[in-house]
């Protein structure tokens, strides 16, 4: 089985729909998103102002994504990042497997384990928002964003084949082109250390994460795990294909068709 893995779409409906269409055209039936998807956002529920913890009819990005997944007849799974509606995700009804489903989209809560293509997968979303001062609670920020010791404990220490996280483990040095305030770096590092602990406990062959808006493939120091950090939407390194048969990865080439290119131009003018 081949699975498309992508990260950090930030409520970009055009990119989401194009990626899903391209994946389906290339015969892919499964997509896993690594967080900062921005689904179930309060502004997608205009009929429930201020009631972000209630279910209702969704519009906007959530509706576009849900419709695209249904039209492509694909399975869409996602973990949470930092910029996600954690309050909403936390009260989604869970199945016995621990997974939650809403509008045809499957949420993988932190610490969830599941099997796909005969492989053992683990999910551990969450991260610290380095720009949290510019964000507002219940509008575009939720305090439950950070990875916790409980999340790591829930994931357990049984061996995994594939670990899915939003944050990058602390052992990996990030080539970021900006300097974080020391307090911010320290705060971000709390989540990064929990992710590092999870890699060391579950010893996956392959690991995928996002969050830092850069593309990198490196071994995780102190482990036998190979980490693939994916870039944000509308960039070349936004997604990658995992073959569960061989546990190897390959490039995903997303070529927008000419007609789609025209449609995009029209919608922007």
In the complex, which residues of this chain contact Mn ion (CB under 5 A)? Answer: 36, 81-82, 211
CB of 166 to Mn ion, least distance (A): 6
Q: Considering beta carbons, is residue 188 or 240 the nearer one to Mn ion?
A: 188
Nearest-angstrom CA–CA distance, 258 and 75: 27
Output the DSSP codes for 31-89. EEE-S----S-GGG-TTSTT-TTS-----HHHHHHHHHHHHHT-EEEE---SSS-HHHH
Among 35, 29, 25, CA closest to 4: 29
Residue number with the smallest Cβ distance to Mn ion: 211
29 C-beta neighbours (distance < 10 Å), count? 14
Q: Considering beta carbons, is residue 119 or 211 the nearer one to Mn ion?
A: 211
Token pair for 132? 């949290």
CB of 54 to Mn ion, least distance (A): 26
CB of 232 to Mn ion, least distance (A): 9
Token pair for 150? 């409980």
Nearest-angstrom CA–CA distance, 267 and 269: 6
3-state DSSP assignment of residue 121 = strand
Q: Considering beta carbons, is residue 42 or 125 the nearer one to Mn ion?
A: 125
Q: Considering beta carbons, is residue 21 or 166 the nearer one to Mn ion?
A: 166
CB of 211 to Mn ion, least distance (A): 4
Nearest-angstrom CA–CA distance, 218 and 48: 44
Q: Considering beta carbons, is residue 81 or 171 the nearer one to Mn ion?
A: 81
CB of 239 to Mn ion, least distance (A): 16
Q: Considering beta carbons, is residue 24 or 86 the nearer one to Mn ion?
A: 86
3-state secondary structure 79-105: CCCCCCCHHHHHCCCECCCCCEEECCE
Residue 208, CB-side half-sphere exposure with 13 Å CA sphere: 30
CB of 25 to Mn ion, least distance (A): 28
């Amino acid at each position: 089985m081949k699975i498309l893995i992508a990260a950090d779409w930030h409520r970009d409906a055009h990119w989401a729909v194009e990626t899903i269409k391209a994946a389906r055209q290339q015969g892919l039936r499964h997509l896993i998103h690594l967080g900062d998807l921005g689904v179930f956002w309060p502004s997608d529920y205009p009929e429930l102002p201020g009631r972000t913890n209630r279910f209702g009819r969704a519009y906007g990005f959530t509706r576009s994504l849900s419709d695209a997944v249904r039209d492509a007849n694909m399975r869409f799974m996602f973990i949470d990042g930092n910029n996600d509606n954690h309050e909403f995700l936390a009260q989604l009804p869970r199945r016995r497997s621990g997974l939650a489903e809403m509008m045809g989209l499957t949420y993988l809560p932190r610490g969830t384990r599941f099997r796909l293509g005969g492989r053992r997968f683990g999910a551990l979303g969450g991260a610290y928002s380095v720009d949290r001062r510019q964000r507002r609670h219940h509008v575009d920020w939720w305090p439950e964003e950070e990875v916790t010791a409980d999340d790591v404990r829930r994931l357990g220490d049984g061996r995994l084949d594939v670990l899915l996280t939003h944050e990058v483990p602390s052992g990996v040095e990030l080539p970021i082109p900006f300097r974080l305030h020391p307090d911010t770096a320290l705060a971000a590092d709390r989540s990064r250390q929990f992710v590092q602990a999870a890699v060391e406990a579950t010893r996956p062959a392959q690991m995928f994460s996002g969050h830092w808006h850069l593309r990198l493939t490196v071994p995780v120091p102190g482990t036998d795990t190979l980490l693939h950090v994916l870039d944000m939407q509308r960039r070349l390194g936004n997604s990658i294909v995992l073959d569960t048969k061989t546990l190897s990865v390959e490039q995903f080439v997303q070529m927008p068709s000419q007609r789609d290119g025209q449609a995009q131009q029209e919608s922007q003018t």
